[in-house]
Structure 1
Amino acid sequence: MESQTMTDPSSGNVASEVARHRLLVLGFDLGVKTGVARYFDGKLLALETVKPWGMRDLLEASCLTAARVDVVFEDSRLQSKLFSANKATGEAKRLKIARDVGGIDAWCTLLEHECERLGLRCLGVSPADKGAKVAASAFDHITGWPGRTNEHERDAAMVARPFRKGFH
């Protein structure tokens, strides 16, 4: 698992930084490599990549870090168009895409059930509504994140960014 955390230098450590927060917004980009973004009181403070089967432990631990936890995720089930308009795409490739999306759909369902079990507010966002992928240099400019990122972490941060101060 890769993890990066940005802390206030005056705080000294992540635990003391987290203990002061009222709102944690978790952003998820689900897949075999699941990107996770953590916005504490509207500020992006942590990015990591986890295995999707680790979501349950991550959600349970997150409940201890803030007074309120909201979850926002890219929900593949909300976009009906799956295949390229390119007629040259072969049948094998289309079937692989369908299997991959089916797996992500299952992770979306699991995430919703875990949020419900824990009493967390959960919001799925269509990939089309999330917008296009963001390059690392643009991500740094948009979010102020100084560290290295991968596409999964950037997607998780961007899907949650509009809701970083919570949602109603």
Structure 2
Amino acid sequence: MTAHILGIDPGANTGVACFDGGVLTWLRTIEPHSIEHFLRQHAPARVVFEDSRLESKVWTTAGSRAAALKIARNVGQIDAWCSLITAICADLGIPAHGISPTAKGAKLDAAAFAVATGWTARSNAHERDAAMVAFPYRRAR
């Protein structure tokens, strides 16, 4: 059996990407409450996720105080989902590590994503981010 590598972009719409033998085989969007079930169901050899906790600065206060507080709440939620992914993977014995959004690189549109990965089917930004966070590790065991 080939080792599946899962990339995860945690968020209200959590992107998940699967690499099998180094090839991107599918993309999904799931809700955060499904993360544990999804990991149990797919039993990947490794999980690589975009980890907002690794960024020293994640928002700007330019704009209104209300907007800055909303961003802070959103980042806090994503930080919690990153902690959840780490804990679930530890419980399941799945090697996992986070990559900072900066280290993952800029967001790719569908055309640039197709050039980078060969994926030409439909995708959304969350799924593309999940794939790109795991892309350097797609052949890892």
TM range (shorter): over 0.9
- Aligned residue for 1:48, secondary structure, equals strand
Which residue number in structure 2 is paired with residue 119 of structure 1? 93
Residues 5-61 of structure 1: per-residue CA shift (max 9 Å, x gap): xxxxxxxxxxxxxxxx32110000000000000001111001000001101111101
CA distance in structure 2 between the partners assigned to 1:153 and 1:119 by the alignment: 24
In the alignment, which of 56, 70, 73 is matched to residue 96 of structure 1? 70
Q: Which runs of 5+ in 1 are unaligned?
A: 1-20
Kindly indicate whether residue 6 of structure 2 is the aligned counterpart of residue 26 of structure 1. Answer: yes
2:15 is the alignment partner of 1:35:
yes
Identity of aligned residues (%): 48
SS of structure 2 residue aligned to 1:133: coil
Moved segments of 4+, more than 6 Å: none
Alignment of 1:48-63 (within 5 A): 48-63=28-43
8 Å contact from structure 1 (residues 62, 69) kept in 2: no
Calculate the TM-score normalised by the size of structure 1.
Answer: 0.81
Which structure would you say has the larger RCO, counting Cα contacts within 8 Å and 6 or more residues apart?
A: 2
Offset of 1:84 from its aligned partner? 2.6
Question: Partners in 2 of 1:50 and 1:165 — Cα distance?
Answer: 24
Structure of higher CA gyration radius: 1
Q: Please, which runs of 5 or more residues in structure 2 have no aligned partner?
A: none
RMSD over equivalenced CA pairs, Å: 1.2
For residues 58-137 of structure 1, what are the structure 2 equivalents within 5 Å?
Answer: 58-63=38-43, 69-84=45-60, 87=62, 89-137=63-111
Q: Letter of the aligned partner of 2:55 in structure 1?
A: Q
* Number of residue pairs matched by the alignment: 141
Taking structure 2 as the reference length, the TM-score comes to 0.96
Provide the C-alpha distance between the structure 2 equivalents of 1:71 and 1:130, rounded to a whole number of angstroms: 14
Q: Tell me the alpha carbon deviations over residues 46-78 of structure 1, each in whole angstroms, 9 at most, x when there is no partner.
A: 100000110111110112xxxx61000000000
